[in-house]
Structure 1
Amino acid sequence: QASATITNRQVQISTYWTQTTADAINSRTATISSSAANTGRIRDAVDRLKTAILKYIQHSTKRVEYDLPPKFISNVNLTFKIDESIISKEEA
């Protein structure tokens, strides 16, 4: 009977370690595959951001090259009125 109990415990321990090892391998595999999926998603986001930055730089460089003001400045009026009550006509 003692031999049967020892054999039973050996089988239980063997089963436990087999399941524990399999669970550890499965969790590592799941972590690696989810990490790979996250890496792909991050890479796509970085590529989109890089493309947007490059387009902005090209657009800004073109404006500087052609000496164009930004679109929000539609009319540049550089005439100024001087308040003569503060400054005399001779100083203006």
Structure 2
Amino acid sequence: MSTNKKIPLRKCIATGEMLPKKAMIRIVRSKEGEVSVDPTGKKSGRGAYVSKSEEAVELARKKQILERQLEASIPDEVYEELLHLIRRESIL
């Protein structure tokens, strides 16, 4: 008897693709309005998901999609951290 565990899907805010949670990076806005990258996906707050691709991150940055989704201003450091995580993962 095989147990077909449902894979949680999330929508990428940049590309609109539905992808498994593991193929995404979560960005979260805390109650205090602080925006941070949430690699564990466990932080509390309003979250938005972006695909683990540099193109998706650059698209989100260019079109200010994260700002709209999280209703907060996104510091450049957040985008840099996202790109760093993606690049590091593509090396592994």
For Structure 1 versus Structure 2, the TM-score category normalised by the shorter chain is under 0.3
**Higher RCO structure, 1 or 2 (CA under 8 Å, sep 6+):** 2
Larger Rg: 1
Q: Which TM-score applies when normalising by structure 2?
A: 0.20
More helix by share: 1
